[in-house]
Amino acid sequence: MKTYSNSETKNSNQSLSYVVIAICSLVILALAVILGVALANPTSVPPVVETPDGGELEEPSVNTGNTAIEFVMPVDGATVIREASLEKLVYMPSLNMWRTHNGVDISASENAPVKSIANGKISKVEQTTLEGVVVTVAHENGLVSVYKSLASASVKEGDEVSAGAQIGVAGTMLTESSDGVHLHLEMLENGKLVNPLSYLEIESNK
């Protein structure tokens, strides 16, 4: 009858332990590889939420892009009498000098209603000596419109206005007195002057 010594049994148990440890290590390594691949390549399926009746709905998408702005004319039946010249010097008769013209001059009758060209918030209302009453409106997407040569304003700082809402009436300004009654409109985008005619389609009679 064959017998085994205790040392032989111990060696056998140690070998079995090594095999088990090796197998466990391989399983853990495989799981780590699978998890890494899954994290590096997420699926494009949108998350779902349960409805009260137990069904599933896709999570609604969120539009993070800029909202399109709809513009309207600041004065009814208006035409352009002087275009903007943001970089080139032009002769200004009222000042008898050459300078840039930072906005567009729009024809208007005396006390004609002047309207906000888009939805926005009144950020400033000023009474100035050279440019008449000046109203500034902040819009979305970093746009700002500035209405100069107003005779009076019908809004105050902090007011919310919609496109086409009256903000004042047309008047004159000393620096452009040769133009008579009109609206001087300037626009800025992210703090930089831009040509209002890039946003508004106004007929020109200059």
Q: Of 33, 74, 99, give the one whose Cα is nearest residue 184.
A: 74
Structurally, the chain folds into a number of domains equal to: 2
Q: Do 86 and 134 reside in the same domain of the chain?
A: yes
Residue 71 included in any domain: no
122 and 173 together in one domain: yes
Structure tokens at 185: 């409109």
Number of residues written out for the chain: 206
DSSP state at residue 60: P
Q: Is residue 34 part of a domain?
A: yes
128 and 181 within one domain: yes
For 152, phi then psi, to 5°, come to: -160, 160
32 and 124 share a domain?
A: no
Examine the fold and report which residue of 37, 62, 87 is the final residue of a domain before the chain moves on: 62
Q: Which domain holds residue 124?
A: 79-204
pLDDT of 100 reads 80
Please list, in sequence order, all residues whose beta carbon lies within 8 angstroms of the beta carbon of residue 163, skipping any fewer than 6 positions away: 70, 71, 72, 115, 116, 117, 118, 119
User: In whole angstroms, what is the distance from residue 2 CA to residue 23 CA?
Assistant: 32
Do 84 and 46 share a structural domain?
Answer: no
Grouping H, G, I as helix, E, B as strand and the rest as coil, residue 112 is: coil
Instruction: Report the SS3 class of residue 113.
Output: strand
CATH number of the domain encompassing residue 166: 2.70.70.10
142 and 97 inside one domain: yes
Evaluate whether residue 131 is within a structural domain.
yes
In a domain, 67, yes or no: no
- Verify that 2 and 88 share a domain, yes or no: no
Residues 51 and 90 in one domain: no
Cα dihedral across residues 170, 171, 176, 182: positive or negative: positive
pLDDT by residue for the chain (206 residues), tens only, comes to 444 444 454 455 566 566 667 676 776 766 666 666 555 554 444 444 444 444 443 433 333 345 688 999 999 988 999 998 888 888 888 777 887 889 999 999 999 999 999 999 999 999 999 999 999 999 999 999 999 999 999 999 999 999 999 999 999 999 998 889 999 999 999 999 999 999 998 776 65
Q: Same structural domain for residues 123 and 158?
A: yes
Rounded CA-CA distance 117/73 in Å is 6
Task: Fill in the DSSP letter of residue 130.
Answer: S
Residues 86, 25 within the same domain: no
Q: How much is the pLDDT for 51?
A: 42
Domain-embedded: residue 48? yes
192 belongs to a structural domain: yes
pLDDT at 24: 65
Query: Under a CB-based contact definition with an 8 Å cutoff, are residues 123 and 144 in contact?
Result: yes
CA 121 – CA 124 distance, rounded (Å): 9
C-alpha–C-alpha distance, residues 39 and 35, integer Å: 6
Could you tell me the CA-to-CA distances from 76 to 20, 43, 115 in Å, in that order?
A: 88, 54, 9
Phi/psi-derived region of residue 183, left when phi > 0, alpha when psi is between -120 and 50, beta in every other case: beta
Residue 74 forms part of a structural domain: no
Domain identity same for 36 and 95: no
126 & 188 share domain: yes
Model's pTM, two decimal places? 0.66
d(Cα 143, Cα 116) in Å, to the nearest integer?
Answer: 13
Instruction: Decide if 69 is inside a domain.
Output: no
Q: Which helix (H) or strand (E) is 21 found in, with range?
A: helix 6-40
